[in-house]
């Protein structure tokens, strides 16, 4: 099996093409499950490379690269942007807009770096399709929509992904993160947190702003809910266990002199441990209901927005890949790390088949940048702008390393 | 001077026309300072009655009805609707929409009853123009926009209202309210509260929802501000003095898993007493800054939205009018009341000239309705739907009584 | 009937005695319903003046001064001090201590000025007993214990006060307050607020300070209750109605590294209006239970500490007395005022008999003092130290005026 | 070196004596730095066994057992009880009382199990002094006062502990905890958290309970501080780092109708990481000051109560001891665990000398008890009552194992 990606070293031309591809994708983000143009663009590229493709789960795209006998391996890249206003100042910054489910128009940005994921996957597909002699087997490229809402992996599976595509023995995937460019972070076992999101509707009673006694004030009630929720993490979770309870949105009222009838907010919960998750979600429900009682209000409506499973790296597969990475990138460039609080629906793709999967992070910032700016903007920041190189090159190398660890021809490594 | 509006008793035809006019206005509300169609409609009606008209302060309309020598008297009706979704179930309910200053599309409703004000004023103008023999002098009908935002009276004055219109010796005005239809409520001296509205922008630091430690969470900060503001009324205002601090809007965040950079909310303060107002506004500022400090956040931005002066009824003029009302409506139908917490920019129109003004309320609900439903929806409720009669008839009678108390021919009363 | 207290002008000697009496009482305060030494002192003084006396309601003392035929009139002075540390710097400041019901040792101070009340009543008894020729009838001096806890008037009535003493046609009483010395404030109708006090026991679960997840933290819960209670006044009471919700004590925990099992706090509610009282008390109960639910804690224990009725001045009697005061003190020195938020159990004494009562305030500070210090310490302040004169002289004059308005011989006024 | 404590197996008589000793100590707890009777009792026992003793750091006792040439080893037991009311129902439960620094009388209980620590140490001293042939060297028994307040170790060091006693090569110590009796938990490296405790005095302004507008309410302010402090753990600490912020006491006010001038509360902070500790303490200070600002109050007074260092087990020494424990207690009975959130000043004793130290936990509850009750009361619970055996026997065996690992005669193990 090859442990080098040497045959895939990028020419200057190929690198320029990859950078051009990245800038294009960065400029044109689309919201989760609305990645229509992105999907069409990807499908055209894959078809041009000679891959079989099919659409799946709405705006998902699958590209199959067959190259004779051998293992079947999956590689997943996610494709959606975020409802946020880009503030990077890049000359190729996004000016795109989209529309939320409730009709609100919003700016859109690749604020989570999925543009780098697509760039790497498309370039890997290109290189593999150009070097068929050094590997054999089948690679399935899964361009998954709606990662940010935990909707995409589920949608692809429900749309028959594994009825339509060959069954891989493992699925790989990776995410850009605000660490040292040129390095990867990888965990064995649990890699990322569970995430549960709820939409809460607080039911009050509307009144003129000068008549609070006629109202049940949903803003005052909602504010007390937000304040009270802080005690779940501060007092109910074991201090050596991890949990996050974030209220990411709060919306109520149209005019300062009308006490509105309702308030809406959303809660996002991160946990690693099933018991902690259960306690936190139970406490959330208990607090939300009790605070409504304290206001003499009806019970709040609680609606699930999404529920991300834990992202779990099969230990044997992860340990093997760590060795491959050390050989390909250098030992100094591979960090074996504890899990992170972020979440992913990546794991569902392999779980649906009962096969293992491995997910890792690749760094976004050069040492110069890390030294200069502190703290550097992370994912979901309006300033998130990875240094293009060695970020993309490392992502590409890591992707190829993972795939070739399964489908590489050992003689090629000689 | 006449003390009867007998010559103005409505014929069945005229009443039907008035009701038709009311339904039309109710169906077509427009947002504050955007009353373009409403203004055009009013101007056409006034011109059809033979009044001189001019536009003033953007969407304000002034109609001058000259009828020989005699006093000059002003009468003001406000014209704007509210950004709220009507839920009255009326067959002529509003389906109108509008756009807030920040571009948000909103439903619009005459939720404060300004449609009744315009109906009464237009009908009074019609009747006065048809019965020139029973009065002499000049009546100025002021159709003022933007009452809800305290922008309209100011805009008309700044646009030269009193340069363009004759100077009245007094200005009258009235408001519909959820009391017994057929009655009026009137105060001598202070009639309505001062109202100050602020827009607060909370400045935090954006981060991924799983990384609260990287953020300054503006929703948690804003919630603590809202909670802390409750202490101003509960602990800082003398219990026998009146104050209201309402947070009418709170908006932050686009996605549950992004901690946003900012939150925006609005505060509406009602007071009667200048010292109380000063203390409350000072305390608001103090709390908002200190809570930002508590989060390690920058100082919040505080921007004035509007500032309503006290609505003050000149005692001599009010007392005289109370007598006229008792004669015209019956003693049982005139309630002399303490001031209310609602606010008005009505007073500015007379204050700009240094002349007195008087403002009163006319009831919206029949006894049957009051007996049946408790509590009945008030102004700014999505269910606010006055009983058409005797509400409009009483409003009309009160308007004419006030005007004729100044311009009525005394022989007509014989 | 006399309208002058001229026959009772104090000699220099008598005034010096009165001041000495005041200093003695000030130095020796006792806690509510523990006024043993105070009662013994009063009884000795009254007996020395020749009055019949009896103990009543534990530490209450009644003195009856009979002087022939004529009306029977009651006059009440309250006798208890407060658990607070005096900080006036007076050379006769209290160093007394007492013990609360739970065994806690506390400093004691006449922080509410009941020492002035006793001084005035004892001096009035002395002067009346020395000038029997200018009046006729019976005066009942009621030295009531436990006013601060609303326990004393109830205790005296239950102990058969009106079985043992002649039935008066009216009862008078007065209170010192931090206004202009030499003046009185008096209301016709409602004079003082209702007051309800509760002791709340919050039931949590104890744990080591490092194990919050094992606890139900009663301090965090109690803090949220205190914060949430602010919304009752700020959002639930009509802004033109009056209510106060004060948490006067909060006690929990013995050591910083033990999360305690319970917290105790007390709430004191002031209202004028029965409907407001009902809503406030209902809301308190609702919030306290709901906040316990929000913590997953058992229901809190709620125990009534005291319940003061409204203090109501019979309007006819009050109006008559206002006239007498104007004649005796000068019109400028009698202020007819709206009710105050303070509370009294004074009213119970007359209510038990169905006779009227009148209560008023006499000022504590000279104009020089009012000009110099702002704001001056009020009742229940550790710095509360009335200017001895004209405070005591005015209180004495007001007391005699009220009594003589009933029992004065009209010829004496000639 | 011996790896067995076989020569020290307890006879039935010795065990009965140990249990009697335990019950005596349990019945007679004393507060931190007030352990006068306890110290006298210990000193008498040590002297009776022939040890040299000296008092140190007030109520600390040191006993030196010299047995020829060989290593010098320290063993520490802490001696103080807690201000809490015992509720175990044991027939030898404590009825003791003590007095806090501010004069408050309190019940006292060995609620942290230091009675078991003393029992084990005294029994170990007895057994070692009776079996001088199986070991050689010097053992220093340090009976340290004031562990709960972090005052005792400091006081002993400052009082010249290491000038007066021989210098040990290592110091051992242990704590009872609510795990399985018969087992020990031990960490290599960090063993226990840093703990910082502060006393906060909130400065408000006193007023009558009916006049909140005259006050700066320190209870409302303190409650907002407690609520706001929750955000430090919930929003400012990395979710994978550990921190606890406990408010263990809150005291304000003497009477429900007086708004007090001040409130006092205490905060106890636990952290493992110096950076986290710095951020948490900085945030506490920031929040406490800002909340005072929000009330318009003066800055709060912040006073350090205690500051516990991290408890750190020298890895080489801990690893060696783990092996000894496995041999002596059985592998199943030795759990190598991550650090716990509890704190200790134990580490200071060795740190002052620059020698290593090792600290571990021994379980308190039998399997039957663990199965029956859930959750079982932990340290600082009023119900904390360890099962006497095998708890004390295991603690004794662990203590002897640690000491003999250094001073045991290797031939004895043959």
pLDDT-derived band at D353 (thresholds 50, 70, 90) equals: very high
pLDDT at A9: 79
Give the distance, in angstroms, between the CA of residue A102 and the centroid of all CA atoms in the same chain.
Answer: 23
Mean confidence (pLDDT) of chain A: 94
In chain C, residues with a C-beta closer than 8 Å to the C-beta of A217 are 231, 235
Q: Which residue of D has its CA nearest to B238?
A: D213
CA–CA gap between residue A227 and residue A287 (Å, rounded):
10
Continuous segment of H or E residues that includes residue D163 = helix D161-164
pLDDT at D7: 60
Q: Which residue of A has its CA nearest to B98?
A: A254
DSSP A19: H
Continuous segment of H or E residues that includes residue C116 = helix C114-130
pLDDT at D103: 82
Mean confidence (pLDDT) of chain C: 94
- If one counts every other C-beta atom within 10 angstroms of the C-beta of residue A106, the result is 17
Q: Which residue of B has its CA nearest to C226?
A: B231
Average pLDDT in the A200-223 region?
A: 96
pLDDT at D1: 39
Query: Following DSSP, what letter does each residue of B225-276 receive, concatenated?
Result: HHHHHHHIIIIIS-TTS-EEEEEEEEEE-S-TTEE-SEEEEEEEEEESSHHH
CA–CA gap between residue B41 and residue B24 (Å, rounded):
10
pLDDT at A116: 98
Q: Which of C213, C235, C239 lies closest to A237 in CB terms?
A: C213
- If one counts every other C-beta atom within 10 angstroms of the C-beta of residue B299, the result is 11
pLDDT-derived band at C7 (thresholds 50, 70, 90) equals: low
Contact assessment for residue A331 and residue A143, using Cβ atoms and an 8 Å cutoff: no
DSSP C69: S
The residue with tokens 């759990």 is D335
Lowest average pLDDT, out of B31-40, B367-376, D310-319, goes to B367-376
What's the Cα-to-Cα distance from C348 to each of C53, C126, C309, D7, rounded to whole Å?
A: 21, 26, 7, 81
Whether residues B234 and C231 touch (CB distance < 8 A) is answered with yes
In chain B, residues with a C-beta closer than 8 Å to the C-beta of C341 are 239-240
Q: Are strands C334-336 and C184-186 parallel, antiparallel or unpaired?
A: parallel
> Among C346, C329, C324, which residue's Cα sits nearest to residue C391?
C329
pLDDT at D6: 57
Evaluate if residue B413 carries a pLDDT over 50.
Answer: no
Q: pLDDT for A364-396, tens place per residue?
A: 999 999 888 667 888 989 999 999 999 999 999
Name the token pair of D71.
């290593």
Evaluate if residue C264 carries a pLDDT over 60.
Answer: yes
Q: pLDDT for A103-153, tens place per residue?
A: 888 999 999 999 999 999 999 999 999 999 999 999 999 999 999 999 999
pLDDT at D409: 84
Evaluate if residue B182 carries a pLDDT over 50.
Answer: yes
CATH of domain B6-193+310-413: 3.40.630.10
In chain B, residues with a C-beta closer than 8 Å to the C-beta of D239 are 210, 212-213
In chain A, residues with a C-beta closer than 8 Å to the C-beta of B208 are 342, 378-381
Tell whether residue D224 is among the known ligand binding residues. Answer: no
| Helix and strand counts by DSSP (H, E) for chain D | 11, 18
HEC readout, C310-358? CEEECHHHHHHHHHHHHHHHCHHHEEECCCECCCCCHHHHHHCCCCCEE
pLDDT at B197: 96
Name the token pair of B87.
């839920």
Domains of chain C by residue range: 6-193+310-413, 196-307
Lowest average pLDDT, out of A5-9, B28-32, C226-230, D303-307, goes to A5-9
Average pLDDT in the C116-137 region?
A: 96
Q: pLDDT for D363-402, tens place per residue?
A: 999 999 988 866 788 899 999 999 999 999 999 999 999 9
Evaluate if residue D216 carries a pLDDT over 50.
Answer: yes
Residue of A223, A230, A291 to mutate for D, most D C-beta atoms under 10 A: A230
Give C278's contacts (C-beta < 8 A, 6+ positions apart). Answer: none
Name the token pair of D124.
């170990």
The ipTM of this complex is 0.82
Evaluate if residue C37 carries a pLDDT over 60.
Answer: yes
Evaluate if residue A163 carries a pLDDT over 90.
Answer: yes
Q: In whole angstroms, how large is the CA radius of gyration of chain B? A: 23
Percent share of chain B, pLDDT over 70: 97
Whether residues D193 and C210 touch (CB distance < 8 A) is answered with yes
CA–CA gap between residue A245 and residue A229 (Å, rounded):
8
Give C380's contacts (C-beta < 8 A, 6+ positions apart). Answer: C82, C84, C111, C112, D206, D207, D208, D209, D257, D258, D259
pLDDT-derived band at B102 (thresholds 50, 70, 90) equals: confident
CATH of domain B196-307: 3.30.70.360
Mean confidence (pLDDT) of chain D: 94
Three-point CA angle C37, C43, C48, nearest 5°: 130
pLDDT at A1: 38
pLDDT at A7: 60
Contact assessment for residue D243 and residue D237, using Cβ atoms and an 8 Å cutoff: yes
The residue with tokens 């078809």 is A47
Lowest average pLDDT, out of C46-55, D195-204, D402-411, goes to D402-411
Whether residues C212 and A235 touch (CB distance < 8 A) is answered with yes
Average pLDDT in the D289-308 region?
A: 96
Instruction: Mark the binding-site residues of C for Mn(2+), compressed into ranges.
Output: 112, 114, 148, 175, 380
> Among D98, D84, D93, D77, which residue's Cα sits nearest to residue D26?
D93
CA–CA gap between residue A357 and residue A189 (Å, rounded):
10
Per CB distance under 8 Å, which residues of A are interface residues toward D? Answer: 227, 230-235, 239-240, 242-245, 270, 338, 341
pLDDT at C103: 82
Residue of D239, D242, D268 to mutate for A, most A C-beta atoms under 10 A: D239
pLDDT-derived band at D412 (thresholds 50, 70, 90) equals: very low
Name the token pair of C99.
């013990």
Evaluate if residue C308 carries a pLDDT over 60.
Answer: yes
Q: pLDDT for B293-302, tens place per residue?
A: 999 999 999 9
pLDDT-derived band at C23 (thresholds 50, 70, 90) equals: very high
In chain A, residues with a C-beta closer than 8 Å to the C-beta of C231 are 217, 220, 224, 295
DSSP D235: I
What's the Cα-to-Cα distance from A298 to each of A217, B8, B101, C237, D5, rounded to whole Å?
A: 12, 50, 33, 20, 67
- How close B54 gets to chain A, by Cα (Å)? 30
In chain D, residues with a C-beta closer than 8 Å to the C-beta of A271 are none
Whether residues D234 and A232 touch (CB distance < 8 A) is answered with yes
CA–CA gap between residue B158 and residue B206 (Å, rounded):
42
DSSP C234: I
Q: pLDDT for C347-368, tens place per residue?
A: 999 999 999 999 999 999 999 9
Percent share of chain A, pLDDT over 70: 97
Q: pLDDT for A298-353, tens place per residue?
A: 999 999 998 998 899 999 999 999 999 999 999 999 999 999 988 999 999 999 99
Helix (H, G, I), strand (E, B) or coil at D58: coil
In chain A, residues with a C-beta closer than 8 Å to the C-beta of D231 are 230, 234
Lowest average pLDDT, out of B307-311, B372-376, C376-380, goes to B372-376
pLDDT-derived band at A169 (thresholds 50, 70, 90) equals: very high
Name the token pair of C14.
């008598």
The residue with tokens 């690693």 is A272
Name the token pair of C258.
């033990």
pLDDT-derived band at C332 (thresholds 50, 70, 90) equals: very high
Percent share of chain A, pLDDT over 90: 88
CA–CA gap between residue D60 and residue C237 (Å, rounded):
60
Whether residues B212 and D293 touch (CB distance < 8 A) is answered with no
Name the token pair of C214.
């094992």
> Among D70, D288, D115, D106, which residue's Cα sits nearest to residue D198?
D288
CA–CA gap between residue B73 and residue B141 (Å, rounded):
9
Q: Which residue of C has its CA nearest to A280?
A: C213
Residue of B294, B296, B297 to mutate for D, most D C-beta atoms under 10 A: B294
Average pLDDT in the D17-37 region?
A: 97
Continuous segment of H or E residues that includes residue A317 = helix A315-329
CA–CA gap between residue A185 and residue A361 (Å, rounded):
5
Per residue in B162-188, is it b (16+ CB within 10 Å) or e — as a string?
Answer: beebeebbbbbbbbbbbbbbbbbbbbb
Give D166's contacts (C-beta < 8 A, 6+ positions apart). Answer: D64, D72, D138, D140
């Amino acid at each position: 099996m090859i442990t080098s990606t040497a045959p895939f070293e990028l020419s200057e031309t190929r690198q320029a093409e990859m950078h051009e591809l990245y800038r294009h994708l960065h400029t044109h983000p689309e919201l989760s499950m609305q990645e229509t143009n992105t999907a069409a663009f990807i499908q055209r590229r894959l078809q041009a490379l000679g891959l079989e493709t099919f659409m799946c789960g709405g705006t998902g795209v699958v590209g199959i690269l067959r190259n004779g006998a051998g293992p079947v391996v999956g590689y997943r890249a996610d494709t959606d942007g975020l409802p946020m206003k880009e503030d990077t100042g890049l000359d190729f910054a996004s000016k795109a807009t989209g529309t939320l489910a409730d009709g609100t128009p919003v700016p859109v940005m690749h604020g989570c770096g999925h543009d780098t994921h697509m760039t790497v996957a498309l370039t890997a597909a290109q290189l593999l399709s150009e070097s068929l002699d050094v590997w054999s087997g089948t690679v399935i490229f899964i361009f998954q929509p709606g990662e940010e809402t935990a909707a995409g992996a589920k949608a692809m599976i429900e749309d028959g992904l594994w009825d339509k595509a060959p069954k891989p023995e493992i699925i790989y995937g990776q995410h850009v993160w605000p660490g040292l460019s040129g390095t990867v972070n990888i965990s064995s076992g649990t890699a990322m947190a569970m995430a549960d999101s709820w939409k809460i509707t607080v039911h009050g009673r509307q009144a003129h702003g000068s008549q609070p006694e006629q109202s049940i004030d949903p803003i005052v009630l909602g504010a007390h809910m937000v304040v009270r929720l802080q005690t779940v993490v501060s007092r109910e979770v074991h201090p050596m266990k991890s949990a996050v309870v974030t209220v990411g949105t709060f919306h109520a009222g149209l005019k300062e002199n009308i006490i509105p009838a309702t308030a809406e907010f959303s809660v996002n919960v991160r946990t690693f441990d099933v018991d902690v998750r259960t306690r936190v979600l139970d406490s959330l429900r208990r607090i939300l209901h009790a605070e409504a009682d304290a206001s003499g209000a009806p019970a709040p409506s609680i609606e699930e927005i999404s529920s991300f499973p834990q992202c779990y790296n099969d230990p044997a597969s992860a340990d093997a890949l760590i060795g491959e990475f050390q050989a390909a990138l250098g030992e100094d460039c591979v960090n074996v790390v504890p899990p992170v609080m972020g979440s992913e629906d990546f794991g569902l793709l392999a779980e649906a088949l009962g096969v293992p999967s491995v997910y890792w992070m690749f760094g976004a910032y050069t040492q110069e940048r890390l030294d200069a700016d502190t703290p550097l903007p992370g994912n979901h920041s309006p300033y998130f702008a990875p240094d293009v190189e060695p970020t993309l090159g490392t992502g590409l190398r890591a992707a190829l390393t993972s795939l070739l660890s399964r489908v590489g021809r050992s003689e090629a490594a000689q």
